[in-house]
Amino acid sequence: MKKLALHWKILLGMLLGVLFGLAMSFMDQGDQIVRDFVKPFGTIFINLLKLIAIPLILASLIKGVSDLKDISKLSAMGGRTVGIYLVTTLIAVTIGLILVNGIQPGKSISTETRQELVEAYATDAAAKQEAAAKQREAGPLQALVDLVPDNIFKATTSNRNMLQIIFFALFFGVGMILIPEEKAQSVKDFFDAFNEVILKMIDLIMLVAPYGVFALLAALVVEAPSLELFQALALYAITLLIGLSLMIGVYAFLVRIFAKKSPGFFFKGIAPAQLLAFSTSSSAATLPVTMERVEEHLGVDEEVASFVLPIGATINMDGTSVYQGVAAVFIAQAFGLDLSLSAQLGIIFTATLASIGTAAVPSAGIVMLVIVLAQAGIPEAGLALIFAIDRPLDMCRTIVNVTGDAAVSLLVGTSLGKVKDVPHEKKWDDHYPKN
Ligand code: ASP
């Protein structure tokens, strides 16, 4: 394992995890053994990643903003970031809608299969509906209110408050720019060093990543639903996977045209983050690694990456957007509903907002889908149709969510002249301490 690049090690861990999970599911009590003795190591790995997300955002964003030295630069970066995020999200929902209308996977579901699925997953679907109801009760400006924490220590106690932490860090950074430089210096030095320590912690966590993903995938395999279910929903899954692959193509194109970088360079640079996104199903848990890869291996300046990526992890979810479009229309088709053009345009609008509001954690997308369904007048019980295979598809859409954030940070960095050349050896190697 000595000379192998990190992404190969992670891939090997994933592969062995799947094989181990498969072997154990044929063994008596194998499932239970994996659940009791292997899965906890996967959970510990995810916890380690999540553990450093908030300190990382705080330190790197405060340092990044104060490095800008000028508030107008911040607003230029903010405008571009949100603008490009919005455009990629709209492209994603539109791709999803065009594909699902073309392929029509919902028409292939027989009435019996539909009935069976609705009955089998009714309780799971109801739980997600309940969670969505809570989100819906809030007024239209609640998201804006939620942006501003009333207590920073309270805000840092939950990884779901990422936007509040971002708000505080930006505000603090602006305060630092506005005081005399010599006064701000010691605070800056502190966050600088703090940031270095956190980056080193990421290096250390990545040393155990191959083992972490092994445990995660072994547990997923023993908990996977039956193969028959996959067959019934195969066309839906294929439609979604085509949409997600097209989005990856869109990023490759944008990176080539606007950042003048080869797709090979881009994907090799962020491969470990993509693999972790797949294994953890959470862009928030992947964020520390995404930041490290984008800075060290794509050459994006820290002040850009530390601004664009945490915001992207919370508001830019292109994989989730493709999914919202495909899943909503798939359910409508399965229930024999014909959606008018205006209903579909409405889906573009609500799916864009829903993907912005989706938390960067596993299965968050399916909760927000309830809102899209309700808005379009599609039966919410239809959620039960896609429930069984949501997890593997969540893993795939999270790859796209993370890739989109990385691509946009490269684009924003290029437009601001903040991308440096990566030393050759970094391109293909990792700076992680070799084990
Ligand atoms: N799991 C996704 C993410 O963290 C969100 C989703 O469920 O679509 O990016």
Q: Read off the CATH number of the domain in which 262 is found.
A: 1.10.3860
Residue 432 above 70 pLDDT?
no
In this predicted structure, what is the pLDDT of residue 231?
A: 75
Domain with 43 in it: 6-415
Q: How far apart are alpha carbons 94 and 156 in whole angstroms? A: 36
CA 355 to ligand 1: nearest atom: 8
Quote the ligand 1 centre to 359 CA distance (angstroms).
Answer: 7
For residue 358, give the ligand 1 atom closest to its CA: 5
Q: What is the mean pLDDT of residues 204-213?
A: 92
* Residue to substitute in 361, 366, 395 for testing ligand 1 pocket (most ligand atoms within 8 angstroms of CB): 361
Tell me which of 216 and 160 has the higher pLDDT.
216
Query: CA 278 → CA 10, 20, 170, 261, 408, distances in Å?
Result: 11, 18, 30, 24, 19
- Closest atom of ligand 1 relative to the 319 alpha carbon: 8
pLDDT at 115: 80
Q: Write out 131-199 in H/E/C secondary structure.
A: HHHHHHHCCCCHHHHHHCCCCHHHHCCCHHHHHHHHHHHHHHHHHHHHCCHHHHHHHHHHHHHHHHHHH
pLDDT, position 326? 96
**Which residue is closest in CA terms to ligand 1's atom 6?**
365
Mean pLDDT, residues 35-61 taken together: 90
- Per-residue pLDDT, averaged over 403-420, amounts to 95
CA of 361 to the centre of ligand 1 (A): 5
* Any domain includes 397: yes
Most confident region among 225-229, 247-251, 389-393 by mean pLDDT: 247-251
User: Would you say the CB of residue 159 lies under 6 angstroms from ligand 1?
Assistant: no
pLDDT at 176: 92
Ligand 1 pocket member 302 (CB < 6 A)? no
Q: pLDDT tens for residues 239-277?
A: 999 999 999 999 999 999 999 999 999 999 999 999 999
Span 324-340, average pLDDT? 91
Average pLDDT over residues 402-411: 97
Q: From the CB of 364, is ligand 1 less than 6 Å away?
A: yes
Q: Give the integer Cα–Cα distance in Å for 319 and 93.
A: 9
Whether 184 is covered by a domain: the verdict is yes
Asked whether residue 430 is domain-assigned, the answer is no
So what's the pLDDT on residue 270? 95
Residue 158 — pLDDT band, cuts 50, 70, 90?
confident
* Ligand 1 atom nearest to CA at 402: 9
pLDDT above 70 as % of the chain = 94
Look at residue 211 in the predicted model and tell me its pLDDT: 96
Domain assignment present for residue 421? The answer is no
Please compute the mean of the pLDDT values over residues 91-119 and round it to a whole number.
89
Q: In angstroms, what is the span from residue 188 Cα to ligand 1's centroid?
A: 33
Asked whether residue 185 carries a pLDDT value surpassing 70, the answer given is: yes
Residue 355 domain-assigned?
yes
pLDDT at 226 over 70: no
- pLDDT tens-digit readout, 64-104: 888 877 788 888 899 999 999 999 999 999 999 999 999 99
246 or 57, greater pLDDT: 246
Contact 272, 209 (CB under 8 A): yes
Is residue 215 assigned to a domain? yes
**Distance between Cα 417 and ligand 1 center (Å):** 31
Mean pLDDT computed over every residue of the chain: 88
Distance 391 CA to ligand 1 centre (A): 10
In a domain, 216, yes or no: yes
Q: How confident is the model at residue 422 (pLDDT cuts 50, 70, 90)?
A: confident
Q: Check whether 434 has a pLDDT greater than 70.
A: no
Tell me whether residue 428 is in a domain: no
Instruction: Determine the distance separating the centroid of ligand 1 and the alpha carbon of 429, expressed in angstroms.
Output: 29
Q: What is the total count of domains within the chain?
A: 1
398 lines ligand 1 (CB under 6 A): yes
Residue 303 binned pLDDT confidence (cut-offs 50, 70, 90): confident
* SS3 of residue 30 by DSSP: helix
pLDDT tens per residue across span 345-368: 999 998 888 888 787 788 888 888
Ligand 1 binding pocket includes 394 (Cβ within 6 Å): yes
* Smallest CA separation from ligand 1 atom 8, residue: 365
> Candidates 247, 281, 387, 390: which one to mutate for ligand 1, based on the most atoms within 8 Å of Cβ?
281
Give distance in angstroms: CA of 394 to centre of ligand 1.
6
pLDDT band at 424, cuts 50/70/90?
A: low
Rounded-to-integer distance, Cα 31 and Cα 20, Å: 11
